[in-house]
């Protein structure tokens, strides 16, 4: 469990938000599966909803604008000390622009870019809003990984963007750990040779995975395949009622050996 009280270091995943056409339906789904409560930010925010865990912000939900062709999705935002400079680095490294840098009231400055393999990611320069206040506990963000068919190009891009070091994981799959310059792990790159598109996939921790999957199905979501066990816990791939993807994980210390 981690209670975050200051802005995260450059390159750390610091916030998640979801774009959906129906905020109320999203609240019912995620409130049921993850136990979140919700707070509307007011008309000046476009009815942006902050997702709360024990009263602390852990994610956000926004309504997809009329005519917006982008599919519902979760976007992970990476902390940066200088949003405009991070955008320039992203573009110089082969990325593209989805949302120009803009001030979000007194909360911070944000942009959304694509990386060199086409995956969207957010950039967040914190002011009064430092990002998720709780991480690495049930109901909160615990991991992020980029799934891509071109892992080599992705690794080069993120080394240039955030000065990450990359560490291959031994095994049959192409998997690379990403580390900040101070050595802290922030996520991974999963090379999928069959991947037609590239995207960041976020993992949310859960205490009772089977109950959460039953709740997700009953609330209009879908579960792809059966849960599986990895060295990092028991996991499942979930789509919410709008098709936005994420994964739920029950960490090893909570997983009985008999499962």
Closest-CA residue to 39 (of 50, 31, 29): 50
**Nearest Cα to Cα of residue 128 among 95, 147, 105, 152:** 105
The band of 41, judged by pLDDT with boundaries at 50, 70 and 90, is: confident
pLDDT 10s digits, 63-93:
987 666 578 999 999 999 999 999 999 999 9
| pLDDT of res. 257 | 45
Alpha carbon of residue 206 to chain centroid: 15
Per-residue pLDDT, 90: 98
pLDDT (mean) for 124-152: 97
Write down all domains in the chain, each with its CATH number in brackets.
2-134 (3.10.180.10), 136-254 (3.10.180.10)
Given phi > 0 = left and psi -120 to 50 = alpha, else beta, which region is 121? beta
Q: Which pLDDT value is given to residue 38?
A: 97
- b/e burial code for range 117-154 (CB count within 10 A of at least 16 → b): bbbbbbbbbbeebbbbbbbebbbbbbbbbbbbbbbebb
Cα separation, 222 vs 224, in Å, equals 6
| High-pLDDT (> 70) share of the chain, % | 93
Which residues contact residue 138 at a Cβ distance below 8 angstroms, ignoring those fewer than 6 apart? 35, 205, 206, 207
């Amino acid at each position: 469990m981690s209670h975050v009280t200051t802005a995260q270091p450059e390159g750390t995943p610091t916030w998640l938000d979801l774009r959906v056409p129906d905020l109320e339906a999203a609240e019912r789904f995620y409130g049921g599966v993850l136990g979140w409560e919700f707070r509307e930010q007011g008309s000046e925010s476009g009815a942006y909803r902050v997702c709360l865990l024990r009263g602390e912000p852990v994610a956000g939900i926004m309504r997809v604008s009329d005519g917006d062709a982008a599919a519902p999705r979760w976007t992970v935002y990476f902390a940066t000390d200088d949003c405009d400079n991070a955008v320039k680095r992203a573009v110089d490294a082969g990325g593209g622009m989805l949302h120009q840098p803009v001030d979000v009231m007194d909360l911070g400055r944000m942009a959304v870019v694509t990386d060199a393999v086409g995956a969207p990611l957010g950039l967040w320069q914190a002011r009064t809003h430092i990002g998720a206040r709780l991480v690495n506990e049930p109901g909160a963000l615990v991991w992020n990984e980029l799934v891509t068919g071109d892992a080599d190009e992705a690794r080069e891009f993120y080394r240039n963007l955030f000065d990450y070091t990359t560490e291959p994981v031994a095994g049959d799959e192409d998997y690379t750990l990403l580390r900040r310059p101070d050595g802290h792990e922030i996520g991974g790159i999963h090379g999928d040779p069959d991947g037609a598109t590239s995207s960041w996939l976020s993992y949310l921790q859960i205490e009772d995975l089977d109950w959460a999957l039953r709740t997700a199905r009953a609330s209009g979501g879908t579960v792809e395949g059966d849960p599986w066990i990895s060295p990092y816990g028991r996991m499942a791939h979930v789509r919410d009622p709008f098709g936005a993807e994420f994964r739920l994980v029950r960490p090893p210390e909570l997983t009985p050996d008999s499962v």
